[in-house]
Structure 1
């Protein structure tokens, strides 16, 4: 693991997903307690694909429970897919009423990998339409959007992908949280291209702790995130529950973070998968610098 100095202004946010069971909620709240100890800047809460059993009421309830547990700001994911504008707006209004001041505005996905996207007939056709409406209705709330250093899987070209991101920012987005990636150079090259497009809001790299290499590979394939060959070699034959796997995962993340810090990155977004041990070790390292 790198022992390079970590600047004192480094911050990070942690992403969790709403559990489906009471036991899962207990586990999540215990995880939140563990996260609070490492002082994240925010905790983001995801929303499932169209047709999943996640309802707005369930997600709202989970967000309420998390906010009762901690003073750490909660950022709510809100998706447009499968919902009318009125339904999406009502969900946002409810969350604002609950005290949520930060949102991630997303198109969302249809249920099932590879299922073609069809906007709701009375819904927001594009994410930038939703962003504009959200900022118009709630100008004081902060809105983040998604960015894709390796392109969205459905984008026909890199130029299209970059232009789409700029339209979301021009619609009022305050910052960008990226899809996870495993090669820091991918993010750095993408950042240069985005800035040349005239996008000048915070670009926050999303990083995924490798909890189980095979499962991570499967997820990366769905998200169009490339895994470098050296990682396949590194994790070959290493059991996911082993100490060796955890140490390798920490080394991979510390290398990514160190490289990004060298190029001016000061905030990171971690996809925790509701896991605590690796996340705590990683963020403790970020806080202490070694």
Structure 2
């Protein structure tokens, strides 16, 4: 039974069928990559960067593994992206395994090398690890004390797995913005309504910064279910049904993933969402296709 709070009335469903070309407001996209573990994966990464840069993303980010295992690799990739492509490149930085002094030195090194954008995160606590000495809000404050970095932080439409409540999660997000964050990038989600309700809650919380919608185009459903279980992301029943019988059919999985993401971003765009961050898993095809559906075109296209 529908309620007044439902976003998708008959009017909304009708709007979803309109041509994406009717959307008038500009769209900004960004892409996330991770450091490759082999030469083959490195080639895949750079092929993806070269293709996606033609869409003129607002920025690209590069993660690093738990315990900063690939921090140096992340730094080198960030510098290479900036040098080779001219894109704004933002390294992920966590405070889980570095002292304040070490973080200040890292911040200074980034700034002195013209890296002015950072994705500031607490980081995953190692199994059996002690309570961290800093959290993401503390890291944002530290970075702003060192220089006027452009800082992205994380947001969780379905609540961080460790948060005591959804309201506590919103309080933490507000604190990160108050500390100087420029935008929040959401964890991926699979119901547009999940993001829209979260956006409304952020407004009521007095959060005025950008809430960028995090989009994960699904290429491997089993991997998605694993990720979702680790991050408190709900996978709707309709997704389970869509992917049934595709375990050995990659082509069909990719078509489903592209279509599902296209419908998601179309619904969000109609609701006024202007910023999307794609978790690419270092592959360009699905993210590129979804961006194309948003009306974005390669800079060399006629």
Give, in whole Å, the separation in 1 of the partners of 2:28 and 2:176.
Answer: 24
Q: Distance in 2 between matches of 1:240 and 1:176?
A: 36
- Tell me the alpha carbon deviations over residues 8-49 of structure 1, each in whole angstroms, 9 at most, x when there is no partner: 611100000011234432321222111112222211111211
Aligned partner of residue 20 in structure 2, secondary structure: coil
Q: Following TM superposition, by how much is the alpha carbon of 1:101 offset from its aligned partner in structure 2, in angstroms?
A: 1.3
Aligned pairs (5 A) from 1:1-290: 3-5=19-21, 6-7=23-24, 9-50=26-67, 53-54=69-70, 56-111=71-126, 118-119=131-132, 123=133, 125-139=134-148, 141-239=149-247, 242-288=250-296
**2: distance between equivalents of 1:163 and 1:189?**
16
Unaligned runs of 5+ in 1: none
**Contact 2:25-2:274 within 8 A present in 1 as well:** no
TM-score by length of 1: 0.91
1:197-227 per-residue CA deviation (whole Å, 9 max, x = no partner) reads 1110011010101010111011011011101
Q: Measure, in 2, the Cα distance between the counterparts of 1:228 and 1:188.
A: 16
Shift of 1:241: 5.0
1:78–1:92 CA contact under 8 A, matched in 2 = no
Contact in 2 for aligned 1:47/1:79 (Cα 8 Å):
no
Contiguous gaps of at least 5 residues in structure 2: 1-15, 298-302
TM-score when scaled to structure 2? 0.87
SS in 2 for 1:180: coil
The equivalent of 2:6 in structure 1 is: none
- Alignment CA distance shift 1:21-1:97 (3 Å): farther
CA–CA distance in structure 2, aligned partners of residues 211 and 46 of structure 1: 20
Structure 1 residues 80, 288: closer, same or farther in 2, change over 3 A? closer
Q: Report the Cα offset of residue 117 of structure 1.
A: 5.6
Partner SS, residue 185 of structure 2:
strand
The alignment covers a number of residue pairs equal to 280
- 1-structure distance, mates of 2:142, 2:259: 42
2:44–2:283 CA contact under 8 A, matched in 1: no
**Distance in structure 1 (CA, Å) of the matches to 2:33 and 2:130:** 24
Paired residues of 1:29 and 1:69 also in contact (CA < 8 A): no
